[in-house]
Amino acid sequence: MIIGIETTAHTFGVAVVDHGKILCNVRDSYTTEKGGIIPMDAAKHHRNVSETIFKKALEEAKIAEKEIKAIAISNAPGLAPCLSEGMKFAKKKAAELGLLLIPVNHCAAHLEIGRITGSKDPVLLYASGANTQIIAYADGKYRVFGETLDIGIGNFLDNFARYLGLGFPGGPKIMELGSKGKKFVELPYTIKGMDVAFSGLLTNVKQKYDALQKKSVDYTKEDLAYSVQETAFALLVEASERAMAHIGKKELLLGGGVGCNTRLQEMCKKMCEARGAAFFAPGNSLLIDNGAMIAYLGEIMFNHKIFFPADEVDINPRERTDDVQVTWR
Ligand code: AMP
Ligand code: MG
């Protein structure tokens, strides 16, 4: 049995996995009424909830501490204060229980948990808060075929939501607002090969929102939320389809918190149907940051003897998906 701890950004999550089976997946997330994530505050949130969430996870999994074989900890990439807090907690538990640590790359975990859907050899659309990449596995690495050239899709949605006075996380609120939109407002559409960009789109939609506040225009706030989703998700689906055609893959797998968006899922599905490919997405509790994906990949790594004494493990806030040596596949 492996226990996994996730703390790279907004979520403190703990889960237990046994032979690929998720026995529990407990979390507590930092949210705000108005602003975005303040890293030091998120870290403080993690410090406050860590013991309670850890205990709750053991209770839900119905296991004793001594049944745990090793501790998987998301050590990269992420917000440094949040990673540090998680690492401190993992090391404390490792010392208490006399266990080894498995350092898990958070992005790789978002991708590996997709295996639970039955997908075998997919192009991965990794649509997270800070990360947006089109990825496929080949020869010991996750290769990045396309990615955002500026901000992540989730940060983009959160930033726009913040501008509208909605708190963090903003993605679900934009989805809600957008479902009431009727009119499509043309917005900048930036794609270069398999790379996409959102900052021009963000500036433009903010200007359109400012105009709406000042004078009479023929669109509403709901129309803007709807159009933002249609435009940004079309970019992601176009880049994903290009990657699938280019490398000849017949599966698309969605990962990351923005993957919870039902409109994005619908657009991915339609594209896959049109080209005779299969579409896979894990459930929402495995898409948003969670401990289960850390424990799940942690167990695979443990079985490949990838674990270390606690003092040999450290955080790596900037590690990229394609920096990771995938020695477990
Ligand atoms: P992650 O970093 O993978 O945990 O994903 C967090 C991001 O997912 C945040 O930017 C959220 O705003 C975004 N998100 C969560 N649910 C939704 C949703 N239903 N639609 C769009 N974005 C979402
Ligand atoms: Mg994430």
Instruction: Answer yes or no: is the C-beta of 167 below 6 A from any ligand 1 atom.
Output: no
245 within some domain: yes
Asked whether residue 35 carries a pLDDT value surpassing 90, the answer given is no
pLDDT of residue 118: 95
**Both 133 and 104 in a single domain?**
no
Instruction: Please indicate, yes or no, whether residues 188 and 315 belong to a single structural domain of this protein.
Output: no
How far is residue 252 from each of residues 111, 140, 164, 259, 306, measured CA to CA in Å?
Answer: 12, 20, 33, 12, 28
Is 150 in the same domain as 52? Answer: no
pLDDT digits (tens, 9 = 90+) for 206-219: 999 999 999 999 99
Q: Which of 33-37, 270-274, 321-325 has the highest mean pLDDT?
A: 270-274
In a 10 Å sphere around its CB, with 0-12 CB exposed, 13-18 middle and 19+ buried, how is residue 206 labelled? middle
- The domain in which residue 256 lies consists of 121-284
Q: Please name the residue that has the structure tokens 């501490």.
A: 65
Which residues is 136 bridged to in the sheet? 143
Mean pLDDT of 108-117: 94
Cα distance between residue 317 and residue 78, in whole Å: 5
Summarised one tens digit per residue, pLDDT across range 158-207 is 999 999 999 899 999 999 999 999 999 999 999 999 999 999 999 999 99
pLDDT of residue 287: 97
Measured CA to CA, the distance from residue 3 to residue 5 in angstroms comes to 7
In a domain, 115, yes or no: no
Q: Are strands 123-127 and 251-255 parallel, antiparallel or unpaired?
A: parallel
| Nearest CA among 329, 275, 266 for reference residue 108 | 329
Q: Which atom of ligand 1 is nearest to the CA of 110?
A: 3
Domain assignment present for residue 233? The answer is yes
36 has a pLDDT exceeding 90: no
* Domain identity same for 251 and 103: no
Mean per-residue pLDDT for 235-254?
Answer: 97
Q: How far is the CA of 109 from the centre of ligand 1 (A)?
A: 16
Q: C-alpha distances in angstroms, 10 versus 6, 41, 133, 139? A: 10, 10, 20, 32
Query: Best substitution site from 258, 289, 290 to test ligand 1's pocket, by max atoms within 8 Å of Cβ?
Result: 258
Residue 191 and residue 300 in one domain: no
The ligand minimizing its distance to the Cα of 77 is 2
Choose between 60 and 329: higher pLDDT.
60
CA 231 to ligand 2 centroid distance, Å: 22
Is residue 329 situated within a structural domain? no
The model's pLDDT over 275-322, given as tens digits with 9 standing for 90+, comes to 999 999 999 999 999 999 999 999 999 999 999 999 999 999 999 999
Q: What angle do the packed helices 39-61 and 80-97 form, to 10 degrees?
A: 40
- Domain check: are 280 and 317 in the same one? no
Which bound ligand lies closest to the C-alpha atom of 161?
Answer: 1
Give the number of whichever ligand sits closest to the CA of residue 29.
1
- DSSP assigned state of 104: E
Please enumerate in sequence order all residues whose Cβ is within 8 A of that of 39, keeping only pairs 6 or more positions apart, or say none: 79, 80, 81, 82
Please report whether residue 328 resides in a domain. no
Place of tokens 């996994």: 4
Q: How far is the CA of 301 from the centre of ligand 2 (A)?
A: 19
**Averaged confidence pLDDT in the chain:** 97
The residues pairing with 141 across neighbouring beta strands, listed in sequence order, are: 138
Render 163-205 in DSSP notation, one character per residue. HTT--SS-HHHHHHHHTT--SPPP---EEETTEEE-HHHHHHH
Single residue among 284, 299, 315 that ends a domain in this structure: 284
Q: Are 294 and 15 in contact (CB under 8 A)?
A: yes
Cβ neighbours for 252, distance < 8 A, ≥ 6 positions apart: 122, 123, 124, 125, 240, 244, 268, 271, 272, 277, 278, 279, 280
Are residues 244 and 129 located together in one domain of the fold? yes
52 lies in the same domain as 198: no
CA distances from 280 to 114, 117, 148, 251, 277 (A): 8, 6, 22, 8, 10
Mean pLDDT of 19-36: 94
Domain-located, residue 141? yes
Q: Which own/partner contact pairs does 308-314 have at CB distance under 8 Å and 24+ positions apart?
A: 308/100, 308/101, 308/102, 308/103, 309/100, 309/101, 310/90, 310/91, 310/94, 310/95, 310/100, 310/101, 311/91, 313/73, 313/75, 313/87, 313/91, 313/101, 313/103, 314/75, 314/87
Q: What is the pTM of this model?
A: 0.95
45 within a domain of the structure (yes/no): yes
Residue 175 Cβ < 6 Å to ligand 1:
yes
Do 184 and 51 belong together in one domain? no
On the question of pLDDT at 85 being above 90, the answer is yes
Task: State mean pLDDT over 238-246.
Answer: 97
Q: Say whether both 102 and 40 belong to one domain.
A: yes
Same domain, 253 and 270: yes
User: Is 299 contained in some domain?
Assistant: yes
How many whole angstroms from 94 Cα to the centroid of ligand 2?
24
Atom of ligand 1 nearest to the CA of 284: 16
Query: Ligand 1: which of 157, 264, 265, 289 to mutate, judged by most atoms within 8 Å of the beta carbon?
Result: 157
Q: How many domains does the chain have?
A: 2
Same domain, 71 and 136: no
282 lines ligand 1 (CB under 6 A): no
pLDDT at residue 325, as a whole number: 94
Q: What is the CATH number of the domain that holds 277?
A: 3.30.420.40
Residue 34 predicted with pLDDT over 90: no
**Residues 259-274: tens digit of each pLDDT:** 999 999 999 999 999 9
Q: Would the CB of 154 count as within 6 Å of ligand 1?
A: yes
